[in-house]
Structure 1
Amino acid sequence: MIQKRLEQLRALMHREHLSAFIFPSTDPHQGEYVPDHWKGREFISGFNGSAGTAVVTMNAAALWTDSRYFLAAEEQLAGTEYQLMKLKIEGTPTIAEWLGKELQDTQSPEVGIDGMVNSASDVKALISDLRQQGGITVRTNLDPLAQIWQQRPPIPMNAVELYPLEYAGESTHDKLRRIRKALRERHADGMLMSALDDIAWTLNLRGTDVHCNPVFVSYLLITSKDVTLYIHREKLTPEVLDYLKSEGITADDYENVDKGLKGYFEYNILLDPDEVNYTLYKMVSREKVEEESPVKRMKTIKNDTEIEGFRSAMLKDGIALIKFLHWLKPAVEAGGQTEMSIDQKLTAFRSEQPLYRDISFDTIAGYQAHGAIVHYEATAETDIPLKPEGFLLLDSGAQYLDGTTDVTRTIALGPITDEQKKIYTLVLKGHIQIELCKFPSGSSGAQLDILARKDMWREGLNYLHGTGHGVGTYLNVHEGPHQIRMDWKSAPLLAGMTVTDEPGIYLAGKFGVRIENTLLITPYIKTEYGQFLQFESLTLCPIDTTPIIIEMLSPEERQWLNDYHRMVYNRLAPYLTSEEQDWLLQATKPI
């Protein structure tokens, strides 16, 4: 199937005089998760991870992805002509370097890339990089998928719904006032908003256009006087139309965003080059203010209502997790349980909770060797039975109307090896060190990241994914720009932000360990050196103590774990049956 698609693509490339074509993982809005309509990289390569870029020449094909997907990509690309390019691994060429080598004997090589699904910054960087590879040129006005993708899924047309003020905590009117103030500070008269979660947050609306992410396909154009939402009209109910009108917001057809930009009347416009796609970026004739969208950081700092919503969502999620964990081991011992069946069971427990809407991402339930595949997702072909032994890595989350959850636990289903115990304890130490951290307001997550890794590094161990990411308020489970990771990211950590804490170690072919809580950044103390911050655990779920080598934990680390477990029990016990309470009491007993 993939080979036939490559043949069709190459026939089109030949007609269009293109030497190569590049397929990203993105859509016109630069989302991490995209509607099926824009999953072109998956269509042309067969690789379904959330991150990766496929490049096809007339004679070769390659796919670049990061460490989360190395093992999965190797499996999914097997039997195709695609070569796997492992990002951040020594010796891996960049896309431009690879194309420079592959096209070195081609006369006047031209590379195609769809400007509608690539950000302005990415395309401009690619143009520069390819120019240095012997003068390779770039064409951006062709979408080959429109011609070769038979039965391509349509753009979603799901109805948009209001997000009540009782959960949002701030009106759209007040958010727009703050946005315009931020634009004035950047000497910008208006802005085009492309990021779907930014639009949903600004307008206090939600949708179901993207799997697990409650957003809707649209653009938002803000001027000093007007606001226009570009969206497919059939998605707007009479209730939503009345609401938009009451907020002074005009609705126009999604396809008319180009006309809106061409008719833009202000002197200048802010365009975030990392969010606005290249095609729309090039349409703008007015002066461009190329800066990060102010909304990106606004929504990361939660208001009091959102914070209480997170606590409420975590409570509901904790209740569901206890019911599941209480059920899990006896069910595995009885036999018949698989990675997929326990995923379904956990989702069923969550769906019983008030305000539950959906999962927040596809559950990662990896037993033993599958746990070493960082973003493993069980399928009918890979699903395996669970046995009362070894590790189960379970990374899951839910969307509740009042908050979004993300939690990982690694669970010993029975006897485990000494190696598994050591790895587990190293990961736990890294997790606890982040939880214990006190730091000056405005610190970068890159400055904190070493705390999660220092004990692993002493053993020559590491992980290549980030240690933490922001979490939205009934929005995307991955929210930035703040992160905790090795790579330098300048986004500051500030009070009111949520961030996950999820170090891990993965031994290919053996097992993986990851432990994750969602945290809230709160004030700690204020001194002559400024405001210091700390982390508050929002997640309410016991951490398995059976694999711990207690002697490897410092007294401070043991104290943190005991304190955390006491808090988990006190918060959850009133909502559980007596049998579940007894189980939780054992699961949280001091070590």
Structure 2
Amino acid sequence: MSLERLRALREELQRQGVQGFLVPRGDEYQNEYVPPSEERLAWLTGFTGSAGLAALANDQAALFVDGRYTLQAQQQIGDQPLQQQSLSPSAISAWLCDNLKTGDALGFDPRLHTEPGLEMLKQRLAERDIRLQPLDSNPIDTLWSDRPAIPSGPARPHPEVFAGESSHAKRRRIAELLDDKRADALWLANPEVCAWLFNIRGSDIPHLPVALCCALLYRDGSATLYLAAAATTDALREHLGSEVALVHDKAELFAEARRQHLARIWVDPQLTNCWTLQQLRAMELELILDRDPITGAKARKNAVELAGSRAAHERDGAALCEFLAELPQAINKASADDSFGELEAVQLLRAKREQREGFTDDSFDSISGYGPNGAIVHYRVSPASSLPMKAEGIYLIDSGGQYPDGTTDVTRTVALGDFPEQARDHFTRVLKGHIAIATLRFPAGTCGEQIDAFARKALWDAGLDYAHGTGHGVGSFLSVHEGPQRIGKVNTNVALEAGMILSNEPGFYLTGHYGIRIENLIFVRESEQHSGFLEFEALTLAPIERRLIDKALLTPAELEWLNAYHRRVRDTLLPLVNENTQAWLQQATAEI
């Protein structure tokens, strides 16, 4: 945050008659990843993490981030006049109540917030007689002179050979749920739900293959879809067919609701911004506020999607193994002049993935952390931060790829040479937690928060923990972070169901020294042994660092799982990697 930008923003807030303002890291679609045109938080503060919020209140300013970004935020905000706080509704509310006065107004952009997201804050501010005031225009947009254009790249059909179900069949299936709700239409607020329902993909958001769009689905299975005119092609029109009307102005969606004489619309308040709800309410429509049914439907992958994910993970695993096999050679070759570092490692891994069929993009910015940078949970390497790598210490690489048949996300922690002995204990405890989730069998109806402790027990036994979730949902050639399923301490009340893909990624981070994380993607399947029970199957295929394992800490069952997993990795990937990597793979998966 430059003092000039902060001063100019305060002047603009004064002009709009408010004493405070909220700057979330988000866009009007509530996307986790946003296009450059929506990076207002980074413009103001310099913080580039995927979750955060800045708040201004009179002469004070604060940045709120969660545990994943504590160290990153400290580095990126430096000595700016910005207090760093914990990202939670209670912490945000308390800070604003402390720094705003009775009678003040807190401004916000209603396109960037949801009503549930503001509920606690609104209540707390009202108790202090402080107004929460929606603004007609975002003051940052007024000041951001070189703001990038809003993207509108071409939307493209996503073939049924990858989707496993036609858009027509999906629309009919979801439309049947509207009858149960006695709803005339469903509002599709988010590009991901549109991408799944209409079997379309795009490139408007880095690493997320979607086109910026929203839609209305009607009870007969027809729909009206908003897409920028520049995003529409003849191939797309042919793919959508006559049952899907295309409009190129969001206002046309509201106009279509009037023309259709809609009375009751199903809206997900978690995905729909405040501004849209204002527009719908102004039309005197009855809103059925409930979770979007598409979010759950796309989380349950069909047989074609699961088969595609397996195939994508095989190709991705082969690319990762070739990278890991070449990494020591690259480090040794460049060690004399420090010319190979975290950034060059990312470039090498990207090059390996680009050689694999179907690769379109990374699924997120790779986390490439050597030594102390590995302890920054969501560290993003840059030319300024990239540490040269040596044949010693510990390296963490968290990365993934986007393929038409699947989305990958994998973390491996490797020893590059000598390392602190305590790291072996930490690594093995993380591995025990990983195996505990991988081998868990649980009754149908179990939620992710009910199994999270299995991943942490070995760490808890030693008085250790990690400040992030254990698992997040993953899409099918969609977001690498997909809801509603997750594994973590936070209550979701979302049962894990067959077909859901999640990550399994316990970790441990010793600030200033190293980070450890072991991540596989897994999917939920029905247990073959016990009716009414579910279990996991691993999708990710890559060796787990044997040199960091303390065999004495593993039970016979845990050791059996590890050796079986390594046999599967070896047998599957050996035919897919080059000759040099084959020798490395044999050694990396040798029985312990």
Query: Which of residues 104, 109, 113 in structure 2 aligns to 1:114?
Result: 109
Q: Does 1:396 align with 2:387?
A: no
Match of 2:245 in 1: 249
Compute the TM-score of the two structures, normalised by the length of structure 2.
0.96
Q: Secondary structure at the match of 2:521?
A: strand
Q: Secondary structure at the match of 2:55?
A: strand
Q: Does 1:341 align with 2:340?
A: no
CA contact (8 A) 2:105 2:130 kept: no
- What amino acid is the match of 1:558? L
Query: Which of residues 86, 97, 101 in structure 2 aligns to 1:100?
Result: 97
Q: Does 1:146 align with 2:141?
A: yes
Match of 2:74 in 1: 74
CA contact (8 A) 1:123 1:278 kept: no
Compute the TM-score of the two structures, normalised by the length of structure 1.
0.96
> Once the two structures are superposed, what CA deviation does each residue of 1:363-396 show, in whole Å capped at 9, x if it has no partner?
0000010000000011111011001011100000
**Alignment partners' CA distance in 2, 1:175 and 1:21:** 41
The equivalences for 1:351-390 within 5 A come to 351-390=354-393
CA contact (8 A) 1:127 1:138 kept: no
Which stretch shows the higher mean deviation, 177-186 or 149-158?
A: 177-186
Match of 1:202 in 2: 197
Change (3 A) 1:184 1:129: farther
Change (3 A) 1:121 1:304: same
**Alignment partners' CA distance in 2, 1:526 and 1:268:** 45
Q: Does 1:590 align with 2:591?
A: yes
Where in structure 2 are there 5+ consecutive unaligned residues?
Answer: none
Q: Secondary structure at the match of 2:565?
A: helix
Change (3 A) 1:5 1:265: same
- The number of residue pairs the alignment matches comes to 584
**Alignment partners' CA distance in 1, 2:372 and 2:59:** 35
The equivalences for 1:227-238 within 5 A come to 227-238=223-234
Q: Secondary structure at the match of 2:571?
A: helix
The equivalences for 1:314-329 within 5 A come to 314-329=313-328
Give how far 1:583 is off. Answer: 1.4
**Alignment partners' CA distance in 2, 1:103 and 1:259:** 40
> Once the two structures are superposed, what CA deviation does each residue of 1:305-343 show, in whole Å capped at 9, x if it has no partner?
101100110010011111111111122122231000010
CA contact (8 A) 1:160 1:237 kept: yes
CA contact (8 A) 2:474 2:482 kept: yes
Give how far 1:246 is off. Answer: 4.0
- What amino acid is the match of 2:218? T
Q: Secondary structure at the match of 1:181?
A: helix
- What amino acid is the match of 1:497? M
Q: Secondary structure at the match of 1:21?
A: strand
Match of 2:306 in 1: 307
- What amino acid is the match of 1:29? Y
Change (3 A) 1:464 1:262: farther
CA contact (8 A) 1:115 1:123 kept: no
CA contact (8 A) 1:471 1:479 kept: yes
Q: Does 1:62 align with 2:62?
A: yes
CA contact (8 A) 1:258 1:280 kept: no
Where in structure 1 are there 5+ consecutive unaligned residues?
Answer: none
Match of 2:182 in 1: 187
Q: Does 1:164 align with 2:165?
A: no
- What amino acid is the match of 1:584? L
Which stretch shows the higher mean deviation, 187-196 or 306-315?
A: 187-196
Q: Secondary structure at the match of 2:204?
A: coil
Q: Secondary structure at the match of 1:297?
A: helix
The equivalences for 1:237-316 within 5 A come to 237-261=233-257, 265-284=261-280, 285-316=284-315
- What percentage of aligned pairs have identical amino acids? 37
Match of 1:26 in 2: 26
Match of 1:409 in 2: 412
Query: Which of residues 440, 450, 456 in structure 2 aligns to 1:447?
Result: 450
Change (3 A) 1:258 1:586: same
> Once the two structures are superposed, what CA deviation does each residue of 1:514-565 show, in whole Å capped at 9, x if it has no partner?
00000011111465xx511111111010001101110001111100000000
CA-atom RMSD, angstroms?
1.6
Q: Secondary structure at the match of 2:216?
A: strand
Q: Secondary structure at the match of 1:299?
A: helix
CA contact (8 A) 2:471 2:503 kept: yes
Give how far 1:260 is off. Answer: 4.0
CA contact (8 A) 1:47 1:77 kept: yes
**Alignment partners' CA distance in 2, 1:79 and 1:227:** 51
Give how far 1:259 is off. Answer: 3.5
Q: Secondary structure at the match of 1:546?
A: helix
- What amino acid is the match of 1:64? F
Which stretch shows the higher mean deviation, 369-378 or 174-183?
A: 174-183
CA contact (8 A) 1:172 1:247 kept: no
Match of 1:418 in 2: 421
Q: Secondary structure at the match of 2:128?
A: coil
CA contact (8 A) 1:262 1:283 kept: no
Query: Which of residues 512, 537, 542 in structure 1 aligns to 2:515?
Result: 512
Q: Secondary structure at the match of 1:337?
A: coil
- What amino acid is the match of 1:537? A
Q: Secondary structure at the match of 1:69?
A: helix
> Once the two structures are superposed, what CA deviation does each residue of 1:282-304 show, in whole Å capped at 9, x if it has no partner?
11121110000000000011111
- What amino acid is the match of 1:49? G
> Once the two structures are superposed, what CA deviation does each residue of 1:229-285 show, in whole Å capped at 9, x if it has no partner?
111111111111222234443334245344445656222111111100001101112
Query: Which of residues 196, 199, 209 in structure 2 aligns to 1:214?
Result: 209
Which stretch shows the higher mean deviation, 351-360 or 261-270?
A: 261-270
Give how far 1:93 is off. Answer: 5.7
**Alignment partners' CA distance in 2, 1:164 and 1:561:** 37
Which stretch shows the higher mean deviation, 251-260 or 371-380?
A: 251-260
Which stretch shows the higher mean deviation, 449-458 or 125-134?
A: 125-134
Give how far 1:183 is off. Answer: 2.2
Q: Secondary structure at the match of 2:219?
A: coil
CA contact (8 A) 2:125 2:132 kept: yes
Which stretch shows the higher mean deviation, 383-392 or 117-126?
A: 117-126
CA contact (8 A) 2:267 2:288 kept: yes
Give how far 1:482 is off. Answer: 0.5
CA contact (8 A) 2:97 2:124 kept: no
Which stretch shows the higher mean deviation, 379-388 or 137-146?
A: 137-146
- What amino acid is the match of 1:506? Y
Match of 1:484 in 2: 487
Match of 1:569 in 2: 570
Q: Secondary structure at the match of 2:310?
A: helix
Which stretch shows the higher mean deviation, 332-341 or 565-574?
A: 332-341
**Alignment partners' CA distance in 2, 1:549 and 1:515:** 15
Which stretch shows the higher mean deviation, 570-579 or 25-34?
A: 570-579
Change (3 A) 1:13 1:333: same
